[in-house]
Amino acid sequence: MDTTTPTPGGARSRNRRGQGERLREDIIAAALRLLDELADDQALSLRAVAREIGIAATSVYIHFADRDALVFAAMERCNSDLINAIDQAEAASDDPVAKLRARVLLQGQWAYQHAGLYKVLHESTLNQRMPMPFKTVLGERTTAAIQRCMDAGLAPTGDDSATVALDLRAAVHGAVSMRLNQPDHRLPPLEEQVDRFLTKLVGVTPASR
């Protein structure tokens, strides 16, 4: 297997046995950087990824059969990193409503800060070409966060928590999409919108209000 590691000058030498997984991680990291800049999976090339880390294009093909396979792996890693960041933000409070707010707000802020990755993850044609089952985790955890608010008596229980979570996620995605795709459109701060979404859609009152 032709796997390589970087040298101080930017070129790469052959990896020692067992370092193939390290190269795979380097390829995914490079793809994420480029996708965040390009905001379009169709504009990514495996040769560009290879150049980014100073390896031969054939080394990329050893790990990924084609561009879609690499973009899928990159989006899976991106989604996993986002989930970990959201979970950490949520863990900073013991209050169910504060936890839910931290979760939703960080998701919206991340999307705005990583516009390219957000567009590839949610708006690219890759979503039509292949399923991304890992994306369901965020929805499931948002549902669980809303259910905790309901169980604590802090949110109405008239609607199913999964339905409420879907409405909330749709509202946040819409707010983010408008900011990214209509940059000249005047919008209120995202924090204010998130608080209104939580009040109107979930029925909770964030402490910030």
pLDDT tens, 31-58?
999 999 999 999 999 999 999 999 999 9
The span from the first CA to the last CA of the chain, in angstroms, equals 58
pLDDT digits (tens, 9 = 90+) for 68-104: 999 999 999 999 999 999 999 999 999 999 999 999 9
Place of tokens 């995605």: 173
> What's the CA gap between 174 and 108, in Å, rounded?
10
Domain residues of the chain, as ranges?
Answer: 4-64, 69-202
Q: Check pLDDT > 70 for residue 1.
A: no
- Pair 104, 142: CB distance under 8 Å: yes
Residue bearing tokens 């795979």 = 24
Angle formed by the axes of helices 96-113 and 136-151, to 10°? 150
- Residue 195 · residue 209 · CB < 8 Å: yes
Q: For residue 126, what are the contacts with CB-CB under 8 A and spacing of at least 6?
A: 41, 68, 71, 72, 75, 120, 132
> What is the CATH code of the structural domain delimited by 69-202?
1.10.357.10
Interhelix angle for 190-197 vs 161-181, to 10°?
160
- Contacts of residue 66, defined as CB under 8 A and 6 or more positions apart, other chains included, come to 46
Alpha carbon distance 129, 126 (integer Å): 5
pLDDT at 39: 95
Topology annotation, domain 4-64:
Arc Repressor Mutant, subunit A (1.10.10)
